[in-house]
Structure 1
Amino acid sequence: MKKFLIGALLVMAPGIGAFAQSEVKAKEILAEVSKKYRSYDVIKTDFSYTLENPQAKIKETQLGTLIVKSKLNKYKIILKGQELISDGKNQWTYLKADKEVQLSEVDNSSDALNPAKLFTIYEKGFKSVYINDTKLNGKTLHNIDLTPLDSKRSFFKVRLQIDKITKQIMNALIFDKNGNRYTYTIKTFIPNVKVPESTFTFDAKLYPGVDLVDLR
């Protein structure tokens, strides 16, 4: 019996070691991504957002633009018929068709996900594992899986695809427990873009005839 247990442990040991190495490699890659991202002031990106649910035969894609202050929780997200603006404490959600702006406090809960969090999602509350490298459009991408430490979160996995050369996140795939898959793909990435500070606050004069609903 002892010989059997020792043999089993010897068989398992290489697998355990490889898994530990993949965790270390993932942390090293993500540390480089974070260091580079945090070195920028304001970043502007164009992205695509796709919601898929194979069982429900749903696949919807829309394009958007994100302007974000990398060192602060300030952002502006422009989507078709909708804008989200945050000064770090408050968020204004402009619904064009309804001619309405909803004012709420920024949701910093673990389940709150939006494009502004794509570049920092891995920094807190996840275990990360390096999976492999793949080729896409002539680029080598690191594939890293994030598993939330809190099992109560609505999603169970996030896969990041990171450009090996530029150390930038190119794609983020979020898998939730209801069978939905959300894919964010970065189309353009412009660091240190110059924008006025007013970009991150709601100016009612720019939205005439719009009702403000305070949900705080």
Structure 2
Amino acid sequence: MKNVAVALLILAGSIVSAQDKKAKDLLDEVTKKVKAYDNISIDFKYTLNNSKENVNQESSGTVVMKGNQYVLSFMGVTKLYDGKKLYTIVPEDEEISISKVDEKDANTITPSKMLTFFNKGYKFYWDIQQNVKGKKLQYVKLVPDDKKDKRKEILVGIDTATKQIYNVIETGKNGTKTTLVVNSFKTNQALPKNQFTFVGSKYPNYYINKLD
């Protein structure tokens, strides 16, 4: 019986290892496709829920990316990064903040990193499969390596047909759950030449705050 138990443990270990490799291979496919596009345009919905704190928020946004440049519009704020400087435009306050971005800093979060954030710092696990709105989604569960990370786990839902991320569900250790759902994912669009150029004349009455 002891030998049987040992054999079962070895078998189970090999299955888990194979599943983890499948998860990593699938995420690698997603990364490869993202890097192959000339540009990406996304419409998304974002929700935050914590039943204990009675918090339930929902908002939507858009982002256009090309290389390391992007324009992100979310919660009434537009962030434009031209590859050198980040312009944060807040119409409600009629204020624009201009700052530099250190892309080499691992803590710097950009929209492009959001599509490939899983490449470092996580353990990968093959999870459930679901059919959502006609899409066949394969979920990969990520568990942060850093024990101090406030996130318990992250589920990444990948459309098996397109190898594109459909949703990302983060569960915090405090019970907070945030969900990002991609409503529209367009690639290689014809973008205006000044898509990632800040044009100050559009904001004549805005206060300009140069942070560095």
Do they superpose with TM above 0.5?
yes
In the alignment, is residue 205 of structure 1 matched against residue 209 of structure 2? no
Q: TM-score w.r.t. structure 1 length?
A: 0.87
Match of 2:74 in 1: 79
Distance 2:209 2:174 in 1: 31
Letter matched to residue 123 of structure 1: N
Pairs within 5 Å for 1:82-97: 82-97=77-92
The runs of 5 or more residues in structure 2 that have no matched partner are: none
Q: What is the CA deviation profile of residues 33-72 of structure 1, one whole-angstrom value per residue up to 9, with x for unaligned ones? A: 1121111111111111111111111111111111011xx3
Structure 1 segments, 4+ long, off by >6 Å, are none
Tell me if structure 1 keeps the 8 A contact 2:129–2:138. Answer: yes
Tell me if structure 2 keeps the 8 A contact 1:111–1:154. Answer: no
User: Post-superposition shift, 1:7?
Assistant: 5.2
Q: Number of matched residues? A: 211
Match of 2:16 in 1: 19
Letter matched to residue 94 of structure 1: I
In the alignment, is residue 58 of structure 1 matched against residue 52 of structure 2? no
| SS of residue in 2 equivalent to 1:200 | coil
State the Cα RMSD in Å: 2.1
Tell me if structure 1 keeps the 8 A contact 2:45–2:59. Answer: yes
In the alignment, is residue 123 of structure 1 matched against residue 119 of structure 2? yes
Distance 1:73 1:158 in 2: 24
Change (3 A) 1:146 1:113: farther
Distance 1:130 1:183 in 2: 19
The runs of 5 or more residues in structure 1 that have no matched partner are: none
Q: What is the CA deviation profile of residues 106-139 of structure 1, one whole-angstrom value per residue up to 9, with x for unaligned ones? A: 3655555564433111222222211121111222
Q: 2:27 aligns with which of 30, 33, 38?
A: 30
Identity of aligned residues (%): 31
Q: 1:148 aligns with which of 144, 150, 166?
A: 144
Match of 1:98 in 2: 93
Distance 1:50 1:133 in 2: 22
Distance 1:115 1:173 in 2: 16
Tell me if structure 1 keeps the 8 A contact 2:73–2:79. Answer: yes
Tell me if structure 1 keeps the 8 A contact 2:80–2:88. Answer: yes
Distance 2:132 2:106 in 1: 31
Letter matched to residue 133 of structure 2: N
Letter matched to residue 39 of structure 2: V
Tell me if structure 1 keeps the 8 A contact 2:70–2:111. Answer: no
Letter matched to residue 26 of structure 1: A
Match of 1:46 in 2: 43
Letter matched to residue 188 of structure 2: N
Letter matched to residue 145 of structure 1: K
Distance 1:111 1:200 in 2: 23
Change (3 A) 1:105 1:156: farther
Tell me if structure 2 keeps the 8 A contact 1:74–1:87. Answer: yes
Match of 2:6 in 1: 9
